[in-house]
Amino acid sequence: MKHLLYLIGDELTINEKFKNYIYRTYEEKFKEINEIRIQNKTDKDLPFLLENLLNQYDFITLFTSPLHYATVAKILATLNDDNLILKDDTLVPDKAEFSKNSFVCNFSNSKINVVKINPSEKLPNLLGHIKLNFAYFCIFGMDDESAILLLQTLTKSYEISIKSTKLLDNLVLIKATCANFGKLDGFLNSVKNLFGQKVFLGKDPIHFISSKLLEKKLKISFAESCTGGLCASTLTKISGVSEIFEGSIVSYSNRIKHEWLGISESVLENNGEYSERCVYFMLKGIFKTANPDFALAISGVVGEKDEGKIKSGTIYIGAMFRDGTFIQETLYLDGDREFMQEQAVLATFCLLLKLKPEIFEI
């Protein structure tokens, strides 16, 4: 089913934080963002454009500022041979399904949800539904080519089309789409049987890992350097994590690594902060401070400049369980500073899947 996210209004399109809030809310409801259209303002061609889009898409969610809302509502009422009436101090097409600042119009081959929004307010409810003929899942511990090759027989048997992207060298995200809704569940069950512990449903590995920690009430903490607290920030975006997360340490400088984590100066000298040895002691240090079940640590070089002999993109990561078992890896990443930080955080969380796979069984 083709669905479109449509924004109209300068105050929406230039406000990046609010725009990201819109995207998150939309994706939470529809499980993905299929296509996006952005328009700064309404114009004389908007009636023809909306009519054309209603013929192209099964469902449209149109977010508009108060400035353009009345124009959009009037156009849709006209296209649908309808009249505008006043509901809760808002003009709404008479035939439309309505909730405060949100309405849905039904057309012959499509539906459109118009949402009046203000950057200083919580988003109204998104109305309407689409049939989801797709599902996302991740395969861990395997490269993308091998994963696709193993899936070929199943995709033919269940008449499934798949798209894939590499999240990490050993982590693949798959989107499976099926015209026959009944076959999708059977395909996913077969995928679980084929890959076992290597597969989990959903498109967000960190959300999956966090859900398992919450389910088993296992606490986690972090000692971060080059990621500047991004592990902690990412985790706290997930509802309910206060049950498993009490705090962490951002040890950006060597002084803080020494004073807060207890890492000896001999380990840190001569760029020693960029090493597996340093990460090991960061793990030990956070256990002394936070006393979690799991600890994660990251140190390395991100950005455009190298640090002495350490190339940018060289990042040391580690994970440790309360019993002292641990795992460490070295990453060699490319991209800008922010992308490398995000990749490092994802790879570090995924170390937990290797360290204690039995905890993260689906």
Q: 127 lies in a domain?
A: no
Query: Can you tell me which residue has the tokens 């002292």?
Result: 324
Centroid of chain to Cα 118: 24
Q: Do 83 and 178 fall within a single domain?
A: no
* Residues 346 and 214 occupy one common structural domain: yes
| Statement to judge: residues 187 and 257 lie in one domain | no
Residue 222 lies in a domain: yes
How many helices (H) and strands (E) the chain has is answered by 12, 17
In the chain, the DSSP E strands lie at 3-8, 35-39, 59-64, 84-87, 90-93, 97-99, 102-106, 111-116, 134-140, 161-168, 171-177, 199-201, 220-224, 249-250, 294-300, 314-321, 326-332
Q: Are residues 109 and 140 in the same domain?
A: no
**Alpha-carbon radius of gyration of the chain:** 25
Q: Angle of helix 205-216 relative to helix 337-355, nearest 10 degrees?
A: 40
Same domain, 106 and 148: no
CA distance 80 to 195: 50
Residues 6+ apart with CB under 8 A from 238: 206, 207, 210
The yes-or-no verdict on residue 19 having pLDDT over 90 is yes
The pLDDT mean for the chain works out to: 95
Q: Which of 203, 233, 263 is the last residue of a domain?
A: 203
Write the CATH number for 49.
3.40.980.10
pLDDT of residue 112: 98
State residue 296 phi and psi, 5-degree precision.
Answer: -125, 145
Q: What is residue 102's three-state secondary structure?
A: strand
Instruction: List the CATH number of the domain containing 269.
Output: 3.90.950.20
What's the whole-number mean pLDDT along residues 96-122? 95
212 shares a domain with 356: yes
Q: Are residues 26 and 76 in the same domain?
A: yes
Q: Is the pLDDT of residue 362 over 80?
A: no
Rounded to an integer, the average pLDDT of 320-346 is 97
Domain count, the chain: 3
| Domain annotation covers residue 257 | yes
The per-residue pLDDT for 105 is 97
Whether residue 303 is contained in a domain is answered as: yes
Same domain, 78 and 183: no
Same domain flag for 338 and 262? yes
Average pLDDT over residues 231-236: 98
Say yes or no: 85 and 13 in one domain: yes
Q: What is the pLDDT of residue 131?
A: 85
Q: What is the C-alpha separation between 359 and 200, in angstroms, rounded? A: 13
Residues in CB range of 342: below 8 A, 6 or more apart: 230
- Structural domain for 156, as ranges: 134-203
- Cα(312)–Cα(298) distance, rounded to whole angstroms? 14
Is 259 in the same domain as 271?
Answer: yes
pLDDT digits (tens, 9 = 90+) for 181-233: 779 999 999 999 999 999 999 999 999 999 999 999 999 999 999 999 999 99
Same domain, 210 and 196: no
What pLDDT, on the 0 to 100 scale, is given for residue 110?
96
What does the pLDDT look like over 116-140, one tens digit per residue? 999 989 999 999 988 888 999 999 9
Q: Which of 166, 183, 203 is the last residue of a domain?
A: 203
